[in-house]
Amino acid sequence: MNASHEDQGRPEPRVGPAPAEEPSFHPYHHPAAGWGAAKSVTRVLTRERALVDGPRAIMRMNHENTGFDCPGCAWPDDTKGLHLDICENGIKHVTWEMTRKRVGREFFADHTVTELAGWSDFALEDQGRLTEPMVYDPESDHYVPIAWHDAFELAGRILRELDDPNQASFYTSGRLGNEATFLYQLFARELGTNNLPDCSNMCHEASGRALQASLGTGKGTVDLQDWETTDALFIMGVNAASNAPRMLTALAEAYHRGAQIVHINPLVEAAATRTIVPHDFMDMALMKTTRTSTLNLQPRIGGDMALLRGMAKAVLEEARRDPKAVDQEFIDRYTAGFDEYRAVCEATTWEEIERQSGLDRADVLKAARVYGDADRSIVSWCLGVSQHEHGVDTVREIVNLLLLRGNLGREGAGPSPVRGHSNVQGNRTCGIDHRPTEEFLDRLAEVCKIDPPHEHGLDTVATIHAMHRGDVKVFVGMGGNFALAAPDTPYTYEALRRCELTVQVSTKLNRSHLVHGRRALILPCLGRTEKDHQRGGVQSTSVEDSMSMVHLSVGMKRPASPHLLSEPAVIAGLARAALPGSDTPWEWYVEDYDRIRDTMAQTLDGFEDCNRRVRLPLGFRIRQPARELVFLTPSGRAEFSAAPLPDVVPAPGTLALGTMRSHDQWNTTIYSDDDRYRGVKGLRTLVFMNEDDMRERGVREFDPVDITSTAKDGSHRHLDGYLAIPYDIPRGCAAGYMPEMNVLCAIGDYSTQSDQPLMKHVKVTITRSA
Ligand SMILES: Nc1nc2c(c(=O)[nH]1)N[C@H]1C(S)=C(S)[C@@H](COP(=O)(O)OP(=O)(O)OC[C@H]3O[C@@H](n4cnc5c(=O)[nH]c(N)nc54)[C@H](O)[C@@H]3O)O[C@H]1N2
Ligand SMILES: Nc1nc2c(c(=O)[nH]1)N[C@H]1C(S)=C(S)[C@@H](COP(=O)(O)OP(=O)(O)OC[C@H]3O[C@@H](n4cnc5c(=O)[nH]c(N)nc54)[C@H](O)[C@@H]3O)O[C@H]1N2
Ligand SMILES: [Mo]
């Protein structure tokens, strides 16, 4: 299989393990979670040789203050406290970190970087945990050991010698705890740059910007209790059974209560069918399934905004007959821009709504009826909504719809984005933002006695461009796997290779260590499950979940190697070396993270008294003004938006391709080549297509096809020899897996609204391979 950019047909190593000789596809008809999940967990525990530690650790996960936060996803913990609320993928994720396998200096002595570059991504991570700092030696093409002090000194010297601090860029992947996050942004800003790209730039940037514009807060307003009391749940663009599996419990509970559950997704994912609640032992024993859906709608890729507009139009039409269909009192009292919005809804024709959404008017009306009949509604969404050109407009349309019936600021109602990484929301709260507000910078300057830069910094896409041009010379990756997660793989590789220095702070070997700058450091750190000993004793870190709850996470496992440092210690080491004269007490902070939290309490909104509050049994919830109907918008009201519907219908002969995760992967970490809930075994290099689209192209099941994307600038990118799988997906749509398909995502194709790469709407043609 070949991946290439224009004529640059360089073969790429595989991402997954080894595709089966005979891959298989049988549509999945079993409930989500339940025994299939239990079996899969056992397999992973065995492979990682964690059969003893694994189960013990899992019992400590997500428990009130005594355990560590599951690094699997950002779904909140049960508000009722102790509860074995764990999931298959969380367990896979934890055991992946706790593996007994190690990558030591002998490993690096045995393999050149060129050799490793030919390994699959699965094989790289499968070697186990990194154990000591390493530096790239160009003479021998090996990574060789380096003392921590020398590693810091090397990075510090290169940072000190830059002509301009904006020649460095500091990436964060959303797993970093709040305390390390705070130190990291302080380091970058004291150095003099706001170049703080993060995974959020590829993830929920659109949601943050939309909610900020509409409600004056970048976050959702609901919590789990709201999920437990709502009448109607609208679940949009998320594969919850794989990516937020603990949501299944909430869906099953909602169903039992008689709530309506509407899934909006081009694919009918496993969470839109039924589940066996994994922590309900009676259900498990009796194989008792619960439905998790009352209505499934399959819009075309990108068709959500048209569907939402149609629902709003129907509600407004109903209001002419029955004024109570809208909450006029709420609208008058709390919102601005209603008349323009009503006008734009009226002006949008049903024909346009049907064409753009790909749904019949009757189906749109079904969803509208559910919404109109519910006293309280929650709309929840993830990447299927955000990773689009018009992601911001679509999230704003979600808010528009909610405002119509006053679904905000009361129990059981509101917007509820499902965040990705376990602390991606906390990262933003604690200062990872390439566009910081003036108020934040002023507070930081006052409390930390630094002079932060005010000009906005670079996000992910802009950082890649700047590295390519040579404007950014130092790239620091605080976790994550930038090389593989970012769009336009060959372009991103070239950008990283042009750097003077790349530094990767990681737990496992990955592609970003092999696609490196002229000089390169691998700095291995503690994982979240591990005990973090500092001078002041065992340390804890705090994290924030999707619903703004902040709580402590305490690791309890012996570290994978005695040479690992915690993330705050690595940041402090880098900072001291780069800023030798700094008045910031870096070393003092690392001795006791309470000191970092004290500074955070003075600097960050909502963190007042956080050292005490974070130790309360369930932690604390960050104040959400919009929840209290306080809107920090220019008008002081919730703002309706009135954007025109975008044209998302693929041109004749082309398809809209969405890139997504399989069940057995965590972003760039691949556990196997299977995608259980979609019925696929032993194959990742596939493309799901509508049967009619296949027939039209003379393509049958498992036929190899060539995929060509066309970028906004007209350039083409290719993936050849992918196998076609007939799937229940609307015509004109196709889907396949990231990160393999990132090759097809052009670097210039990002949303003008959010700057997010367009990972769910790649324009492609698909033909049978010659
Ligand atoms: N196990 C596991 N858990 C994870 C992750 C993981 O990789 N593995 N990743 C974490 C991260 S960082 C994130 S951001 C989340 C991601 O969670 P998801 O958003 O579920 O991620 P994807 O796999 O990209 O799936 C996108 C979903 O959107 C649907 N979709 C695609 N296009 C459209 C569209 O136009 N409209 C609608 N309505 N739906 C569409 C797809 O069919 C699919 O169900 O999960 C987090 N949790
Ligand atoms: N085409 C396409 N591309 C996408 C997406 C898509 O849907 N389609 N989704 C995007 C999204 S939503 C996201 S969030 C990004 C994800 O992008 P990233 O966050 O950059 O990628 P991950 O795969 O989550 O990072 C995995 C690596 O993190 C390191 N790691 C794990 N635990 C720790 C830890 O505790 N500390 C440290 N320091 N390192 C650790 C390990 O070395 C591991 O190899 O990808 C984006 N890319
Ligand atoms: Mo994400």
Residue 580 maps to which CATH number?
A: 3.40.50.740
**Which residue, 385, 417, 449, sits at the end of a domain?**
417
pLDDT at residue 185 above 80?
yes
pLDDT at 61 over 80: no
Question: Is 50 a member of any domain?
Answer: no
Q: Does 80 score more than 60 pLDDT?
A: no
- 318-329 pLDDT, tens digit per residue, is 999 999 999 999
Among 55-59, 119-123, 345-349, 678-682, the minimum mean pLDDT is found in 55-59
What is the dihedral sign for C-alpha 491, 495, 497, 498? Answer: positive
Instruction: Provide mean pLDDT across the span 471-483.
Output: 98
Q: Pick the residue with more confidence: 339 or 35?
A: 339
Mean pLDDT of 481-495: 98
- Tell me, using a 6 A CB cutoff, whether residue 390 lines ligand 1: no
| CATH number of the domain bearing residue 696 | 2.40.40.20
The pLDDT of residue 560 is 96
Q: What are phi and psi of 455, to 5 degrees?
A: -70, 140
Q: Is residue 80 part of a domain?
A: no
Nearest atom in ligand 1 to 382's CA: 19
Q: Are 191 and 155 in contact (CB under 8 A)?
A: no
| 434 & 312 share domain | no
Output the CA 124–ligand 3 centroid distance in Å: 22
Q: Is residue 723 part of a domain?
A: yes
- The domain boundary, picked from 417, 452, 477, lies at 417
**Sheet strand arrangement including 32-33:** 32-33, 274-276, 290-291
Q: ∠554-556-561 over CA atoms, to 5°?
A: 115
My answer on whether 603 and 456 are in the same domain is yes
Determine what percent of the chain is predicted with pLDDT higher than 70. 92
**pTM for the model:** 0.94
Are 612 and 661 within one domain? Answer: no
pLDDT at 604 exceeding the cut of 80: yes
Q: Is the CB of 668 under 6 A from ligand 2?
A: yes
- Measure CA 541 to chain center: 20
Task: List residues, by chain if needed, whose CB lies under 5 Å from ion ligand 3.
Answer: 203, 420
**Helix (H) or strand (E) run with residue 272 in it:** none
The reported pLDDT for the residue numbered 290 is 87
User: Is residue 58 over pLDDT 70?
Assistant: no
DSSP string of 420-433, one letter each residue = SSTTHHHHHHTT--
For the Cβ of 367 lying below 6 angstroms from any atom of ligand 2, the answer is no
Domain assignment present for residue 92? The answer is no
Domain hosting 733: range is 2-28+655-768
| Same domain (yes/no): 156, 23 | no
Question: Count of domains in the chain?
Answer: 3
Mean pLDDT of the region 31-56: 65
Chain position carrying tokens 């909450």: 327
CA distance 438 to 340: 31
Q: What is the mean pLDDT of the chain?
A: 92
Residue 366 clears pLDDT 90, i.e. is over it: yes
Of the candidates 263, 272, 273, 269, the one whose C-alpha atom is nearest the C-alpha of residue 307 is 263
Residues 533 and 491 in one domain: yes
What backbone torsions phi and psi does residue 161 show, to the nearest 5 degrees?
-85, -5
Same-domain pairing of 225 and 199:
no
Contact 666, 121 (CB under 8 A): no
Listed in order, strand segments (DSSP E) in 133-276 are: 134-137, 142-145, 168-172, 232-236, 260-264, 274-276
Retrieve residue 57's tokens: 């650790």
Q: Are residues 590 and 454 in the same domain?
A: yes
Q: Is residue 10 part of a domain?
A: yes
| CA pair distance 733, 737, nearest whole angstrom | 14
Same domain for 139 and 149, yes or no, is yes
Measured distance CA(273)–CA(285) in Å, rounded: 20
Would you tell me how many other CB atoms lie within 10 Å of the CB of residue 160? 13
Last residue of a domain, one of 354, 387, 417: 417
**Which pLDDT does position 83 carry in this prediction?**
42
DSSP string, 442-504: HHHHHHHT-----S----HHHHHHHHHHTS--EEEEESS-HHHHSSSHHHHHHHHHT-SEEEE
Is 349's pLDDT higher than 80? yes
Looking at the structure, do residues 240 and 379 belong to the same domain, yes or no?
Answer: yes
CA–CA separation, 376 and 251 (whole Å): 16
**Is 621 within a domain?**
no
- 602 and 495 within one domain: yes
Is residue 207 within 8 A of residue 417, CB to CB? The reply is yes
Helix (H) or strand (E) holding 543: strand 541-544
In a shared domain, residues 601 and 531: yes
Same domain, 155 and 223: no
Position 79 pLDDT exceeds 50: no
Cα 192 to ligand 3 centre (Å): 27
Within a domain: 626: no
**Are the CB atoms for 529 and 94 separated by under 8 Å?**
yes
Q: Which residue has the tokens 């880098």?
A: 574
Distant-in-sequence, close-in-space partners of 100: CB < 8 Å, separation ≥ 6: 48, 49, 50, 128
- Say if ligand 1 is within 6 A of residue 660 CB: yes
Is residue 202 in contact with ligand 2, taking CB distance under 6 Å?
yes
- What is the residue with the minimal CA distance to atom 28 of ligand 2? 480
**What is the reported pLDDT for 286?**
64
Helices 304-321 and 361-373: crossing angle in degrees, nearest 10, is: 60
Query: Quick one: which ligand is closest to 555's CA?
Result: 2
Q: Is position 96 within any domain?
A: no
How far apart CA 238 and CA 269 sit, in angstroms, is 8
Is the distance from the beta carbon of residue 738 to the nearest atom of ligand 2 less than 6 Å?
Answer: yes
pLDDT at 569 over 80: yes
Which one-letter DSSP state was computed for residue 165? G
What is the mean pLDDT of the segment spanning 576-605? 98
Strand order in the sheet with 377-381: 295-297, 260-264, 232-236, 377-381, 414-417
> Each residue of 404-450: pLDDT tens digit?
999 999 999 999 999 988 888 899 999 999 999 999 999 999 999 99
Q: What is the pLDDT of residue 674?
A: 94
Ligand 1 centroid to 372 CA: how many Å? 28
Residue 358 belongs to a domain with what CATH number?
A: 3.40.228.10
